[in-house]
Amino acid sequence: MKRFVYADNAATTPVSPVVLGKMTEVLTDVYGNPSSIYSKGREAAVLLAEARAKIAGAIGATEREIFFTSGGSEADNWAIKGAAEVMAKKGKKHIITTAFEHHAVLHCTQKLEKNGFDVTYLPVNSDGVVKLDDFTAALREDTGLVTIMMANNEIGTVQPISEIGKICREKGILLHTDAVQAMGHIPINVADLSVDMLSVSGHKLHAAKGVGFLYIRRGVRIANLMDGGAQESMRRAGTENTASIAGMAAAVEDAVAHMDERHSKILAMRERLIDEVLKIERSRLNGSRTERLPGNANFCFEGIEGESLLLMLDNLGVCASSGSACTSGSLDPSHVLLAIGLPHEIAHGSLRISLDYTNTEENVDYILEILPTIVRKLRDMSPLWDRIIGSQK
C-alpha cells in the first residue's frame, strides 16, 4: 500500500475534529439567520457573538474590531481598497508594500495604480526580510497606507511588523498586515504590533475554506467592500456563515491554547528536514534559517524543474508544492524567489514543504527517504544538469 504524507499545510489544512464537531453542531441545531429576531435567529446571533469574542481575545482585540469575511483574499481586498478610498480623499494616494506579497495584495495595489495611486514595492534582502532602512526611506508626505505581510506564504520569513507599526503610528499612516500564514503559528497581539488592520483565513489553521476575518482597529474608518444588508455592524453585507465562523473560532482557540507545544514539535521536525535536505548536492534553503515560521522549509535544487519534482513526489504519496497554491497554474518562476535574488533557472527548481502538528517524525523520514532519489533521477534526465556539471570541469 502506497504511503501518504500531507506536507502542504501552507496551502490548506484538513478540518480538525474540534472544528468539524462544532460545525456539525451548528449546522444541525443553530441554523437560524443571525439577523432574525425569533429564538432560532437569536441563538445564531449569540453564537456569532461568542465566536467574535474568542477570536478577539486571541489577538488582543475587542469584539467590535472583528469582522467576518469569506477568507483572506476578501479581507486583504477590503482593507487595501477600503483604506485607499478613504485616504485618497485626504490627498494621500501613496501606498507602500513589498515585492513579494501574496497576489491578493499585489493585484489590489496594481489595480489601484491604474486608478491613479502611486505604489512603492519595497525589496527584500536575500533572507526574504524587509529592511527598515528601505521602509523609512520610502515614506512620503502623501503616504496613506502601508500593507506588508506578517509572514511570507512561500518561504515563511517573518517580517518586522512591530517596528514598522510603531513608525506608521507615529506618522499617522494606516498599517495593514496579511497574517494568513502567521495566525495560529506565532503569537499575535494587535496592540503590540501597532497594526490598524489584520487579515486571517480559516482554512490555514484547520477550519473550513471560505471563511476568515478582518481586524479593523476601533476608530479606523475604511470604505465598505460589500454593500447590502446591515450585517457586521453595517460594514460587510451578507448573511454570516455561522457554522464556518464557529468552526474558525474553535480553530483559533485550539491553535492558541496549544501553540507552544506544537511549535516545539514542528520546529524539531523542520530543523531535521532542513539539515538532511541540504546534504543534497546543489540544494539551498530559501529565506532566513531563523526568522521564519516553524513549519516552513522552502528549497531549490539546481538542474531540475519543480513541477516534475512535485509530480514524482505525488506519485509516491507526498503532497508538497513549489510555492503558492494560488499561482500553481503559472509556468513563471515564483515572484517571491525572484524577489530574494534567485535567477530564473534556479527559482524553477523550488520545493515548499510545510509541516504541521498533524505531521510525524515518520513523515519526515519518508520524505528524506525518497527525495534524494527523485532529485537524482530528474537530474539524470536533465540537459541543464549536464551543463551545470560540465561547467565545473
CA 318 → CA 7, 228, 367, distances in Å?
Answer: 7, 44, 7
300 belongs to the catalytic site: no
Helices (H) and strands (E) in the chain, counts: 15, 12
Q: Nearest-CA neighbor of 353 among 6, 100, 3, 2?
A: 6
Residue 33 CA to chain centroid, in angstroms? 30
Contact (CB, 8 A) for 120 and 95: yes
Question: How many Å apart are CA 386 and CA 374, to the nearest integer?
Answer: 16
Residue 2, exposed/middle/buried by CB under 10 A (0-12, 13-18, 19+)? exposed
At 356, list the grid cell: 504541521
Q: Which of 108, 168, 319, 326 is catalytic?
A: 326
Question: How many Å apart are CA 64 and CA 285, to the nearest integer?
Answer: 42
| Type of residue found at 10 | A
| Type of residue found at 128 | G
Q: Who's near 114: CB < 8 A, 6+ residues apart?
A: none
Radius of gyration of the chain (CA): 22
At 248, list the grid cell: 474558525
Question: How many Å apart are CA 147 and CA 173, to the nearest integer?
Answer: 10
What DSSP line would sit under 263-330, residue for residue? HHHHHHHHHHHHHHHTTSTTEEE-S-SSSB-TTEEEEEETTS-HHHHHHHHHHTTEE-BSS-GGGTT-
Paired strand residues for 146: 96, 175
Lookup result for grid cell 519543480:
306
Question: How many Å apart are CA 193 and CA 385, to the nearest integer?
Answer: 45
Active-site amino acid positions = 326
